[in-house]
Amino acid sequence: MTITYINNLTEFHSAINTTANKLVVVDFYADWCGPCKMIAPLYESLSNQYAARAIFLKVDVDAASDVARYCSVSAMPTFHFYRRGVRVADFSGANPDRLRAEIEKHAPSSTEISFADSGLRLGSDPTPSNPPHSDAAPSAAAPSDDIQRRRMAAAAAAARRLEAKKAQEAQEAEAEAATAAAAEAAKAAAAEAAKAAAAEAVKAAAAAPSTENRPSTDAAPSAPDAPPAASPPAASSSDPQNDPRLNVNVLLLSQMVDEMGFPRVRAEKALILTGNKSVAQALDWCFEHADDPDIDEPLQVVTKEGAPKPKLTPEEAKKRAEELNARARAKREAQEKKEAIEREKQRLKTGKETTIAKQKLEEESRKRAVEEKRREKREALLERQRVRAMLEADKKRRRELFHMPPSDQPSASSPPVPRPPAPTHTEPSAAAGKIQFRMPDGSRIEGEFDGEQTMNDVVTFLLSSRPELSSRVLTFSQQYPRKVYLQSEYGMSLSELNLLPRAALTVSFS
């Protein structure tokens, strides 16, 4: 692998200024950055492919934050491209196509690299090691004076640039040392202030028994004179703050608040609960607990009343962090379980509603099928009645055509047959009887029938009594026992239908 990892600003300046004519590609990345991890294999492959034309560097923005600040890197991954110490291009984001295009655009060709390596060096003998033949032309024996002057000027300019870079690096190193010294002084002052506050607290605790033995009348006036160490420290602003007794790494806090834009309370809380180890672990904690409702609530040290508040050791802080993480994890699992139960209830409710809707559709389909069957039966009955009427009309027309007597009158040649006298006051036998028809308009019609007659004869009798019903579909029903006579029963005898010796039929038509 041909990738060089940069750890500080000095290594960075040395790498981009001492690479002759090659292109320098710099990848600013972070271990916690997903796009950085995605494009890392491609970056390694390109470093092998362009090893002869370019130098590939990688800078961890957490480990080498001074380099990231110097280059004004605000997003990861960010790629910078340098030629002879000058930045020629840069872009942010995991864009493989643009990365290839920029390398191909700015990387020198093989001939340019060979030409850059074959010139004269400072302090070397300009006379060639193998002088030409004595009869060669003087102009071909050595480079011209103009070319030599140009090369010397370029070498001097490169030396001046290198000296300027070194001076700038020295100034930056001095500034960093001054900043570190100021930070150490601030930490020492804070430690001295903490020691003084602890001493005041010890003095106040030692003076507490004498104040308890005073009379009750003096207790009230002495309350305002209590030592200030017993009261909580005053906040510098109205914003919530973490307990000042909890230690926070100032440099890591500055990176998270000033460079990444996290709220101060959240950044301090993340660093405290992860042991001030690194920005990456603090970011992992922030991302893991981003949905917690109390993520921006400040941390407070809870101790017994009147006792000095102890400082947490690293082991205790780690244990406390593990407890908080376990509590948050349990809370998250309970919420997920509750949501799963709600989803199951919603699924059951939806399934029940779907089943009810399906049953309703099936019921409506059955009703439509029954109604369609009834309509077909009515149409079939109406068609039979129409055919019967046509046949009767045809018979009547034939009788009139051939001057035949009607079928219900005896012919002239046949002798009259005397009818037997109607029985008086005799009950009908089981083979004969009367049927009463109850019409929709309230009228009633009675007819006598024998047991061998069928329902078709009943229909014929009713149509002869009411000719206006010949175009209607007739339906017969019996009240007790409750029964509706179907078209398939019209061919059965009245005895089989139990309509004799006496019955009452309700007539309806459509």
| Residues carrying an active site annotation | 33, 36
> Which run of H or E residues covers position 54?
strand 54-60
Cα(12)–Cα(88) distance, integer angstroms: 16
- For residue 486, the SS3 value is coil
d(CA 503, CA 510): 23
Confirm if 263 and 270 have CB atoms less than 8 A apart.
Answer: no
How many Å apart are CA 434 and CA 427, to the nearest integer? Answer: 11
* Residue 136 DSSP label: S
Please, what is the Cα angle at 54 between 124 and 90, to 5 degrees? 120
Residue 249 φ then ψ, to 5°: -70, 115
Closest CA to 286 of 312, 257, 311, 315: 257
Residue 108 and residue 46: Cα distance in Å, rounded? 15
The span from the first CA to the last CA of the chain, in angstroms, equals 97
Helices (H), 213-313: 216-222, 250-254, 264-273, 279-288
Closest CA to 86 of 17, 168, 19: 17
Read off the DSSP letter of residue 119: S
Give me 122's structure tokens: 């400072």
Residues 6+ apart with CB under 8 A from 437: 444, 445, 446, 447, 462, 505, 507
For tokens 């949905």, the residue is: 291
Q: What share of the chain is helix, strand, coil (3-state, %, to 5)?
A: 55, 10, 35
Q: Is the distance from CB of 507 to CB of 440 less than 8 angstroms? A: yes
Q: What is the CA radius of gyration of the chain?
A: 56
Q: Please name the amino acid found at residue 113.
A: I
